[in-house]
Structure 1
Amino acid sequence: MKKILIPTDFSPAAYNAAKYAVHIAQKLKAGIKFCNAIKVPADYVMAGQVAWPLEDYGTLKNDAEAELDYLTKTLSKEQEAAGGEGSFYPKIEHASDAGEVVTYVKELVAADKANLVIMGMSGAGDFNRLLFGSNSREMISKADFPILLIPAHATFKGIKKIAFATDLSEDDLEVLQSLAGMARLFNAEILITHVNAEIEDVAAQQHRVDSFLRDVTCKINYPRIYYRGVQNNQVNEGLAWLAEHGQVDMLAMVHRQQPFLTRLLKGSHTQHLAKAVDVPLLVFPEGYKGVLA
């Protein structure tokens, strides 16, 4: 069975992501595993060595397990109350252990063969700090699995249109194949979009677009795929326009060190993107060839 891993710190944003994840799991017919990385108190970290009283760890471990158990039972009751005849109820598990969030999540993904990681975002004002600072930036940089980031106030209302932002790289076709498998379960449109800067050789740019779309037609067996170019000198502003006017339910993109997503990680671009992305953001690692659905 497919599995979705959901890191949680028990915050409202994490709980909202957990509720959203249940709907995704129902469509994917996937199991769910919540996890919590127990943070080592800074006072006990000295010279790279951890000296942590066992009784402190035991207390924190018990507290984490109690929170996870409550979360599991709460969401199980909610989905049973909302479900109708023939509804799929994801099996919900949980785990906790001491360690860094990114390391622990990667270990669980490998051990459980998880197809997807879903995490919460604290909201537009904190998007830059959470996604492009601390744990989530490191998670995106080091992950070899897809990550779906859920805004704090996002409510699941179905997925009718997914925008896939691409730089027209041939490698993106494999990712698009995986995305199409997920879109098929929701009967969702995939809107391929490429943000174009002002260019002198319009014919050459159009040739790149036409070549990519021909490959899509030949290699991706999904009929509900469309293309829309966005004219803007800045990728972040182009995506902001798309988020505001494109009526999309999810934005998907590939993380690569250069030159696409990295441009979004620099300088003031993050602030603009933070304001733009009020829909769930699905980030694939470069060269991803796995199966989401």
Structure 2
Amino acid sequence: MKTILVLTDFSIKADHAAHYALKLAQKIQANLLLCNVYPQPAIVTASTHTFWNGNESETFEQDSLNDLAELANRLNKQLDKTCNDEFKPVVDFCSMAGPLTAAINYIVASRQILFAVIATHSSDDFMAFLNGNHANEIIENANCPVLVLPYQLSFNGFNKIVFATDLAHKGTDVLHSLYHITKYFDSEVLVTHVGMVKLAKVTEDYITRRFLCQEIGVSQYPKIQYRSVKNKSITAGLQWLAEHDDIDLLVLVHHKRNLIQKIFEPSVTKKLANKFAKPMLIFPSSYERGSVPIL
């Protein structure tokens, strides 16, 4: 059964993300898998022998399972309030020792995971400062799409989806996945490119024919359009679009960068994930149709 993986650290923001994911799961008829990744047990060295502190590991795991069970119980109570004819997801949970992305990718490889759901943590969030930015780590290394949710955002469906592309990445497999999402919401998909110069109409028409018609067959996607945004900053351009257009979901492809690029060229995806006011669905650059289950 197709499943949404909900990653939680039991913070109030993660709790909100879990409730959002529950409503989304009802709409797209998927189950939920709640997951908490707790710290690996400490290594204790005595003389020439090294061993794991088993008691600490058992404590972490039991606390994690107890909190997961409590969260699952609250979500199931929320489901009890819905109409009988509505789809009711099965809410399961698991607890695993870190490292974080290794645990996530193990689950992705062993379950039919559509995408992972995480909550954003602002730069002034004290706990995020202490624990590191796990959102960035997940976006960089997860082998599945990641849905990043701002805090306190209500679930209202995805009527308008913006797919931001650099036009170099064909995006065919991503668009096919989006098509399967649009079926549940009757969504409009706006393929968007942010650049220094606003493209001429003749160029936009060419891109529409090449990118939409030749790549995927526009007849299969009656509600797909192309729009260019002029801005020297991709981040600022997408922020502007979100403020001036009523979009419900921003979709991007995250391209991994080498060390030099990481130092001098901050990731657009990661910058947006820290402050964007709309949900973001981020696909790994290695994503191919069939490599991750499609809705």
Please indicate, yes or no, whether the TM-score normalized by the shorter chain is above 0.5. Answer: yes
Find the residue that maps to 2:168 and give its secondary structure.
coil
Counterpart contact for 2:41–2:57, Cα < 8 Å: no
Alignment correspondent of 1:237: 236
Does residue 40 of structure 1 match 2:40?
Answer: yes
Cα distance in 2 for residues equivalent to 1:258 and 1:212 = 25
> Could you give the per-residue CA deviations for residues 140-176 of structure 1, whole angstroms, max 9, x where no partner exists?
2222311101112211122211111011235302211
Quick check: 1:145 aligned with 2:144?
yes
8 Å contact kept, 2:72–2:93:
yes
Cα distance 1:45–1:281, how it changes in 2: closer, same or farther (>3 A)? farther
Q: Tell me, yes or no, if the aligned pair for 1:165 and 1:194 is still in contact at 8 Å.
A: yes
Q: CA separation in 1, counterparts of 2:273 and 2:58?
A: 38
Distance 2:143 2:21 in 1: 20
Deviation at 1:118, TM superposition (A): 0.8
- Quick check: 199-208 or 30-39, which moved more? 199-208
Closer/same/farther in 2, CA of residues 168 and 68 from structure 1, 3 Å limit: same
Q: CA deviation at 1:78?
A: 0.8
- Distance between the aligned counterparts of 1:42 and 1:266, measured in 2? 35
2:217 is paired with a residue whose SS is: helix
Distance 2:41 2:12 in 1: 23
Q: Cα deviation per residue 1:231-280 (whole Å; 9 max; x = unaligned)?
A: 11111111111111111111001112369xx7999459689736761111
Residue 60 of structure 1 aligns to which amino acid in structure 2? F
Q: Give the AA of the match of 1:39.
A: P
- Give matches, 1:22-101, under 5 Å: 22-40=22-40, 51-81=51-81, 83-101=82-100
Partner of 2:294: 292
Aligned mates of 2:271, 2:35 — CA distance in 1: 31
Q: Helix, strand or coil for the counterpart of 1:115?
A: strand
Contact 2:235 2:272 in 1 (8 A): yes
Contact 2:139 2:282 survives alignment (8 Å): yes
For the 8 Å contact 1:29–1:90, the answer to whether it is kept is yes
Whichever residue aligns with residue 71 of structure 1, its letter is L
Task: Kindly state the Cα deviation for residue 136 of structure 1 after the two structures are TM-superposed.
Answer: 2.6
Task: Give TM-score, length-normalised by structure 2.
Answer: 0.84
SS of 1:182's partner is: helix
Structure 2 vs 1, CA of residues 244 and 50 (structure 1 numbering), >3 Å: closer, same or farther?
Answer: farther
Structure 1 gaps of 5+ residues are none
Q: Give 1:227 deviation, angstroms.
A: 1.8
The residue type paired with residue 76 of structure 2 is S
Equivalent AA in structure 2 for residue 36 of structure 1? N
Distance 1:232 1:84 in 2: 46
Q: Is the 8 A contact 2:161 2:251 kept in 1?
A: yes
Counterpart-to-counterpart distance in 1, 2:61 and 2:39: 10
Give the residue type in structure 2 aligned to 1:86.
D
* AA of the residue aligned to 1:292: I
Residues 235-274 of structure 1 aligned to structure 2 (within 5 Å): 235-257=234-256, 266-267=265-266, 273=272
TM-superposition CA deviations, 1:83-118 (whole Å, max 9, x none): 113011100111112221111111011111212111
Cα deviation for residue 42 of structure 1 reads 6.0
Q: Which runs of 5+ in 2 are unaligned?
A: none
- Tell me the equivalent position of 1:213: 212
- How far apart in 2 are the matches of 1:33 and 1:113? 11
User: 2: distance between equivalents of 1:104 and 1:56?
Assistant: 19
> Against the structure 1 CA distance between its residues 109 and 45, is the aligned structure 2 distance closer, same or farther, given a 3 Å change threshold?
farther
Matched residues in 2 for 1:200 and 1:185: separation? 32
Q: Is the 8 A contact 2:163 2:251 kept in 1?
A: yes
Which has the higher mean CA deviation after the structures are superposed, 222-231 or 271-280? 271-280
Superposition RMSD in Å = 3.2
**How far off is 1:43 after superposition?**
7.5
Which amino acid is the alignment partner of residue 188 of structure 1? S
* Shift in Å, 1:211: 2.0
CA deviation after TM superposition for structure 1 residue 187, in Å: 1.2
Question: Match for residue 4 of structure 1?
Answer: 4
The structure-2 alpha-carbon separation of the partners of 1:188 and 1:283, relative to structure 1 and needing over 3 Å to count, comes to: same
Deviation at 1:59, TM superposition (A): 1.7
* 8 Å contact kept, 1:6–1:18: yes
Change in Cα spacing, 1:76 to 1:160, as seen in structure 2 (3 Å) is same
Alpha-carbon offset, residue 138 of structure 1? 2.7
